[in-house]
Structure 1
Amino acid sequence: MRDSAKIRFARQLRREMTPAERYLWTRLRRRQLSGCRFRRQHPLGPYIADFACVEKRLVIEIDGSQHGESGIDARRDAWLRQQGFKVIHCWNHDVLARVDQVLASIAEVLAIPHSDG
């Protein structure tokens, strides 16, 4: 996908967020979590991350049942890790039912010092 097409697609995904993505975004935006800036539906290489904190090299993916055994997800995660990103997967249900626990888990990862190497 060309960069301009990927950007258009990311914008479309921002407009059509799932309820879980929308709910988590209300808790991540405006540096509410650990003072970190998150971007939603953020293009990274050939992929679009649900949420990314570029400064801390963290990607958060919100998964529904369709992600259970996805080879595409495994390839994306491997590529992101090769680029130095940590990847966290959260289930839709957990975000909607236990958002404080999800946020605490994300905050724990954000507190780990990031290495540039």
Structure 2
Amino acid sequence: MAAKRVDGERRWAVADRSSQSPQRRFARAMRHTPTEAEKTLWWHLRHRLKLPDAHFRRQVQIGSYIADFACHGLKLIIEVDGGQHASVIAYDNERTKRFEADGYRVLRFWNNDVMSNIDGVLEVIRRAMMTPPTPDPSPQGGGEHQRPE
């Protein structure tokens, strides 16, 4: 809900949700029809990886792309790829660069890894969650170390 001021007093109103971007509609549809690997990983993220600041969301729109799973607090994205991703490597690389430009770390797993080695997948995710994200680079391209006077 968003607060609106009408004649000096606050009124609460629901924002107009009748118009949505095509990307948002697509993300919502994808949340309703997950793959078996996505269902499996989602269950494990919610029940087995309960760490502080580790709130994952499914099918999250970030820019013009949709990430399978994203944890905004840890700046971590998890992608679960099926066989079709072998033919769209350039597109996946472009998405990864976009996510990384926004400060996210991206982990990619194949569907068969999630289905046959979930413990190994969770261990990689757990290690990434325990490693703090690297700070944004200096906009000046350096200057972190000063010369002794």
Q: TM-score, normalised by structure 1?
A: 0.91
Identify unmatched segments of 5+ residues in structure 2: 1-18, 137-149
Alignment size in residue pairs: 115
Q: Give the structure 2 partner of residue 44 of structure 1.
A: 62
CA distance in 1 between partners of 2:131 and 2:79 (Å) = 19
CA distance in 2 between partners of 1:18 and 1:75 (Å) = 23
> Whose radius of gyration is greater, 1 or 2?
2
CA distance in 1 between partners of 2:102 and 2:78 (Å) = 15
For the residue of structure 1 that corresponds to 2:21, the secondary structure is helix
Q: Give the structure 1 partner of residue 72 of structure 2.
A: 54
Deviations 1:16-60 (A, max 9, x none): 100000010001126x41421000001101100000011100000
Please state which structure has a larger fraction of its residues in helix. 1
Conservation of the 8 A alpha-carbon contact between 1:20 and 1:95: yes
Tell me the CA shift for residue 90 of structure 1.
0.4
CA distance in 1 between partners of 2:20 and 2:97 (Å) = 21
Conservation of the 8 A alpha-carbon contact between 1:34 and 1:107: no
Structure 1 residue 29 and structure 2 residue 34: aligned? Answer: no
Tell me the CA shift for residue 5 of structure 1.
2.0
Tell me the CA shift for residue 4 of structure 1.
2.6
Considering Cα pairs closer than 8 Å and 6+ residues apart, tell me whether 1 or 2 has the greater RCO: 1
Percent sequence identity is: 40
Conservation of the 8 A alpha-carbon contact between 2:37 and 2:80: yes
CA distance in 2 between partners of 1:5 and 1:73 (Å) = 20
Q: Give the structure 1 partner of residue 147 of structure 2.
A: none
Q: Give the structure 2 partner of residue 96 of structure 1.
A: 115
Identify unmatched segments of 5+ residues in structure 1: none
Spell out structure 1 runs of 4+ moving beyond 6 A.
none
AA partner of residue 55 (structure 2): R
